[in-house]
Chains A and B, each alone.
Chain A
Amino acid sequence: NAGVTQTPKFRVLKTGQSMTLLCAQDMNHEYMYWYRQDPGMGLRLIHYSVGEGTTAKGEVPDGYNVSRLKKQNFLLGLESAAPSQTSVYFCASRYGTGGIYEQYFGPGTRLTVT
């Protein structure tokens, strides 16, 4: 199993450009999450999904959109990138039932907006 994979690993954008980050998991997990990691601030939840076709806002959703058209994929979109969105983005997934709460993280995408 590949676990949680993220594409791309690195990206540089100019202010105003758009892009989509792809997260894929092969563990048949129900829940998927997008976080951003900034120095001294830990990981902050952007959006999450509790199942195919459903999404919800997290702590810092402004400037981002998400979609979960297939259970194994969770896409994070930036419609008009801003320098404040320079960060490392992590996707995570977990089971939805069975009392298992562990989140499995991908390797991250390092995004720089100039």
Chain B
Amino acid sequence: QQQVKQSPQSLIVQKGGISIINCAYENTAFDYFPWYQQFPGKGPALLIAIRPDVSEKKEGRFTISFNKSAKQFSLHIMDSQPGDSATYFCAAAALIGPRQLTFGSGTQLTVLP
């Protein structure tokens, strides 16, 4: 049972455009929502994360929007650049117990020059 659903599977954006990736979760015990970025041949690396006590978190060109009542969160990449081309994974974890991450299925982002 997939507890974190991610869309779209792939996304093509022009340079300078806005990239938006969406995730929805089911488990109400989830209390930590990170986004990971993965380049080909590399392991995932943490990009940005949010706790549900805030509705938005911004770090540079990357913003997470969080809607607790809808159990949805999204990643916005402003002024998308070709160097942002990568696979993006949303994830969620409960902050009790071993806190293992449950990942979405991933979005392959291509930013055209």
Q: Are A33 and B105 in contact (CB-based, < 8 A)?
A: no
Chain B: minimal CB distance from A27 (Å): 14
Given A45-B101, A56-B98, A58-B100, A105 contacting B45 (CB threshold 8 A): yes
Evaluate contact between A50 and B44: CB separation under 8 angstroms.
no
- Interface residue ranges of A37-53 to B (CB < 8 Å): 40-45, 48, 50
- Asked whether any CB of chain B lies closer than 8 Å to the CB of A24, the reply is no
Of the candidates A33, A41, A102, A106, which one forms a contact with B100 in the assembled complex, judged by CB atoms under 8 Å apart? A33
Q: Which residues of B contact A44 (CB under 8 A)?
A: 103
**Interface size, chain B (Cβ < 8 Å):** 25
Q: Is A40 within 8 A of B105, CB to CB?
A: yes
Task: Provide the residues of chain B in CB contact with A31, threshold 8 Å.
Answer: 98-99
How many A residues have CB within 8 A of the partner chain?
24
A101–B100 CB distance below 8 A: no
How distant is A7 from chain B, measured CB to nearest CB, in Å? Answer: 14
Whether A74 is near chain B, meaning CB under 8 Å from some CB there, is no
Q: Once the chains bind, are B43 and A42 in contact (CB under 8 Å)?
A: no
- Asked whether A45 and B100 contact (CB < 8 A) given A102-B34, A103-B46, A105-B43, the answer is yes
In the complex, whether A21 has a CB less than 8 A from a CB of chain B is no
- In the complex, besides A4-B43, A101-B95, A108-B41, 13 extra interface pairs with C-beta distance below 8 angstroms are A35-B103, A40-B106, A42-B6, A42-B106, A59-B102, A90-B43, A101-B32, A101-B99, A105-B36, A105-B43, A106-B43, A107-B42, A108-B42
